[in-house]
Amino acid sequence: MKKVLTIIGLLVIAIFIYSNAELFTLVWKSDLDSVIGILKENLLLTFIVTFVLMFVQNSFTIIPLILLLTINVTIFGFIYGYLWSWFTSVVASGFIFYAARNWFQELLLKKIGEKWQESVVEHGFMYVFTGRIFPLIPTSLINLAAGVSTVTFKDFLLATALGNLIYFFFLSLIPYGLLSVEMNQYTLAALALLFLLFFMIYKRAKKKKKLTFFRKNR
């Protein structure tokens, strides 16, 4: 039943993209003025299109993430655009993770190298979290590699939510001119500090959890 619903969902998205081919072509060409002009006239269409675009980005990583955030923050404003981008990214990532684990696992295991699989299995939460705030690994590959690994859905979703919450904030500043693409070194430095903070919190919580478990089972 779940596989049937997944198929239906993918078909609905494919039909929607086909029926709005002209609009998605403008996105592909990065014609932001035309795209924003069309979407501003229909709020419901804006929500659907931006979600579908985020879904595509999390499936194949063929659309620049900064492009999607620029569309969202321009139409919805900084706060709502940032939060909507974050929310849709988490939902889309979760869907791709679920599909990879429950439907495409055998196929993907052959396609994804052992190196990626071992990295995800070994580091779990931190692998996904690091991949989100340091975009050196394609979003789609993180989703798929985590899906075919032993990482729990809970850890994957939490790491994605926290990582994207941080990284999307910085990306959302660029359309407002508060941060430029050329300032990558400062962005990475700030992300590194945040990453270190979260890593310390994560390690401390994990250590505390182990101690609690050990004391209960003595």
CA–CA dist 207, 196 (Å, integer): 16
Task: Supply the pLDDT for residue 127.
Answer: 79
Q: Are 163 and 89 in contact (CB under 8 A)?
A: no
CA–CA dist 73, 181 (Å, integer): 16
Task: Supply the pLDDT for residue 101.
Answer: 77
CA–CA dist 148, 204 (Å, integer): 28
For tokens 């979407």, the residue is: 39
Q: What is the pTM of this model?
A: 0.78
Task: Supply the pLDDT for residue 68.
Answer: 93
The b/e string for 54-82 (b: 16+ C-beta within 10 A; e otherwise) is bbbbbbebebebebbbbbbbbbbebeebb
Task: Supply the pLDDT for residue 179.
Answer: 58
**Exposed, middle or buried, 158 (CB in 10 Å: 0-12/13-18/19+)?**
middle
Task: Supply the pLDDT for residue 214.
Answer: 47
pLDDT tens for the chain, 218 residues: list them: 666 776 777 788 888 888 889 998 998 888 989 999 999 888 899 999 999 999 999 988 888 898 999 999 999 999 999 999 999 999 999 998 888 777 765 555 555 555 555 555 556 778 788 888 877 778 888 888 787 777 888 889 999 998 899 889 888 888 876 655 555 556 656 666 676 677 677 767 766 665 554 455 55
At 63 the three-state DSSP class reads coil
Q: Residue 31 region, left (φ>0) first, then alpha (ψ -120 to 50), else beta?
A: beta
> Which residue from 35, 36, 129 is spatially nearest to 90, judged by alpha carbons?
129
Residue 92 structure tokens? 């889309």
At 188 the three-state DSSP class reads helix
Task: Supply the pLDDT for residue 129.
Answer: 85
